[in-house]
Amino acid sequence: MIAYQHALTLAVAHGGGSVPGIRDRDVATFAEMAARKRLAALRALLPRTLAALGWTAFERRYRAFAANRMPCGPERYRDEAIAFARSLGEPAGREEARSVAAHGPGRRLALVREGRRITLYLRFRHTSRLRVVRLGR
């Protein structure tokens, strides 16, 4: 059972592969669903980086980044967003990585002021997902 779970985890992380007892096509479909879910979470956490790169470039660069990497850490999406933004080498990505990193999982509310723009990081009471709201330009 442990070997099966390990094979399935590796296949999902790398976008497909062989898992005993499951068709390769089904593994690839499941891996694509998992990648899209991770990508949607990163888009929500990194809106300025997404705007700077554009949807297509953001997705292409994220898929290249995630191809050989498993999400890890206590806040998987948040930690992955920080690592991805830092790996881009773009000014918007580095700045946004600092903002997201400054507001860890223990915080419910944080405000960051950058010039005329105010960013609100908010966690609702019964969820661990970080909501990001931008005010101003």
Long-range contacts of 51-57 (CB under 8 A, 24+ apart): 51/92, 52/90, 52/92, 52/93, 53/88, 53/90
Q: DSSP class of residue 130?
A: P
- For residue 27, give every residue at least 6 positions away whose Cβ sits within 8 Å of its Cβ, in sequence order, or none: 8, 11, 12, 16, 17, 18, 19
Predicted local distance difference test score (pLDDT) of residue 60: 93
Is the pLDDT score of 14 beyond 70? no
Amino acid at 119: T
Rounded CA separation 13/17 (Å): 10
Which has more confidence, 54 or 115?
54
User: What is the spatial distance between Cα 80 and Cα 67, in angstroms, rounded to a whole number?
Assistant: 13
Give the integer Cα–Cα distance in Å for 16 and 33: 11
pLDDT at 57 exceeding the cut of 90: yes
Neighbours of 134 (CB within 10 A): 14
Total residue count of the chain as it appears in this document: 137
Q: Is the predicted pLDDT of residue 74 greater than 80, yes or no?
A: no
Mean local confidence (pLDDT), 15-32: 78
